Amino acid sequence: MNLPDAFDGLNATAFTVLGQPVIWSDMAGNLLGLAALALGWRRSLWTWPAQLASGLVLVAAYASAQLSGGVGKQLLVITVAVWGWRQWRHGSRSAGDGHIAVRFATARERLLLLTGAAGGTLAVGGLFTAWPQLSWNPWPDAYIFVGTLVAMIAQARGLVEFWLAWLLVDLVGVPLALHSGLTFSALVYLVYFVLVLWGLRDWWLRSRAPRPVLEGTSA
């Protein structure tokens, strides 16, 4: 089997759920996304390679289907994943347990995230509307796409608001996937929702816990 045939195979049907076909790329990409979210909850550096792998799978699937809009979106997600990995690996905010330290965003950071989310959704939604081939459902797709990027940026900075951004994405993602007939994606979004609530609680509590004092430093 050559490489193009392997990529085409990603768009083949793996199984059906409630009469709806589930393709291999959709299943693999979503499962890797779930793994990335669970690893993010654990504050593991491996959350970023998982997100990168998810993006690569979907890039291959979109490319084989000649969906340039999907390829472009996933390439941007991959770029943010690489940046997030560097932030967590080389960042200066490390907790005493060797993982990324988490905190709530400052008022300025929240304003920047909200402004970026609103402006980005308007810009991307306008782009998708002007070029319908990029998205079959421009505004909800723009909201989910920009919301995902905002969540990843907040995660890279170790902000508790990362989980709130994911929560807002899920509130649109679940009904949109059901309406689109993407039953498997909708089920995955429901699992996302549970993981988000669990992760939000964990990061919230960690952000309120006293920071350990390193040996040789003053309290």
pLDDT value of residue 179: 73
Q: Whole-model pTM? A: 0.81
Measured CA angle at 30 (ends 26, 34), to 5 deg: 170
Question: What is the residue-wise DSSP string for 91-121?
Answer: -S-B-TTSSBP-BPPPHHHHHHHHHHHHHHH
The one-digit pLDDT tens for each residue of the chain (219 residues) are 555 555 567 777 777 776 777 778 778 888 898 899 889 988 888 999 999 998 888 787 667 655 566 677 788 889 999 999 988 987 655 555 667 888 999 999 999 999 999 999 999 999 989 988 877 788 988 898 899 899 999 999 999 999 999 889 888 877 877 776 666 777 777 888 888 999 999 999 988 876 554 444 443
pLDDT value of residue 64: 62
Give the pair of three-digit tokens for residue 24.
Answer: 């291999």
Give the pair of three-digit tokens for residue 187.
Answer: 């089920």
Query: How many other CB atoms are there within 10 angstroms of residue 171's CB atom?
Result: 14
How large is the angle between the packed helices 138-156 and 107-130, nearest 10 degrees? Answer: 150
